Amino acid sequence: MTPPPSGAAPTGGGEAELRRGTAYAFLAYGIWGMFPLYFAALEPSGAWEILAHRILWTLAVVALVLLVRRDLWWIRPFLSRPRLVAGITLAALLIAANWIIYVLAVLTGRTYEAALGYFLNPIVTVGLGVLVLGERLRRLQWAAVAVGAVAAVYLTVAGGVLPWISLSLAFTFGLYGLVKKRVGASLEALHSLAAETAVLAPVAVGVIVVLSVQGATTFAGHGVVHTTLLVLAGVVTAVPLLLFAAAARRIPLVTVGLIQFITPMLQLLVGVTLLGEHVSGRLWFGFGIVWVALALLSVDSLRAARTARADRRALPEDPPEPCP
């Protein structure tokens, strides 16, 4: 669904660039937040057919953009780096798993569980940073991870079953971000998306062939509107990713991190108010525990950003160049 914020720094350009970047971020996360309505509109297509069309049409969109930009120089260097190819392949498999679980959640009336997964994602990402990358946490970050763990345990007990949709979405997306950080950071967002969808394309074609043989494909048998919506899966996938990439270059990481909570909040509201899903009082309480964890992370991020700005201001100016 949504990729984790990169560490890109703003490119500068003053207040206009900051406003533009903030607008791009709101648009990207807003589009991701409205995804449940789009996927619900694709019925009677099943989750696997939607996944296959999403992969193939996204590849078509990014390939067209790359051709128009004459931006193909990176392909040969990419293919000559086996470790990078392996990393992108793993990232592609993780994001495909994330997509299929998300669409299944929407089509089975469990959008609220998908929203919970993306609320949990920042906490999972922080935990993976500690366990895998050996990163050190500040006090509020430890507190957020602890509260998030309490929320997961509570939701399991209150619901009577393991919230596998929420946990699967949080962990597949968290691992996707981890893999991209380790091996995929050298590719631009558009190049990475092209490579990932190219890796998945044979699988997508295989899914379409199997569904066609079984007579289960809906692409051409449910009217022009339905066919058009499936084709638009590529645009719907690519546009917010490109908006996000443009935002990440213009605004601070902290701002991106705080704006990202718009997506699961919109998903939850769409599921409850527009798709008619029921969320019990016990689940609302579980959401409340998660929001406490997110509030702790947000406060910590703001404090860290304020400290970093103060440290930069405190640095002495460069000494003047000596006269020749």
Q: What is the pLDDT of residues 205-264, one digit of tens each?
A: 999 999 999 988 888 888 899 999 999 999 998 898 888 878 877 777 667 777 788 888
Exposure of 212 in the CB half-sphere (CA atoms within 13 A): 9
Distance CA 100, CA 98 (A): 6
Three-class SS state of 178:
helix
Contact present, 42 and 226 (Cβ < 8 Å): yes
* pLDDT tens, position by position, 21-56: 888 888 988 999 999 999 999 989 999 999 999 999
Q: What is the pTM of this model?
A: 0.82
**Residue % of the chain over a pLDDT of 70:** 89
Main-chain dihedrals φ then ψ at residue 249, nearest 5 degrees: -80, -10
- Residue 246 confidence (pLDDT): 81
Give the pLDDT of residue 207. Answer: 95
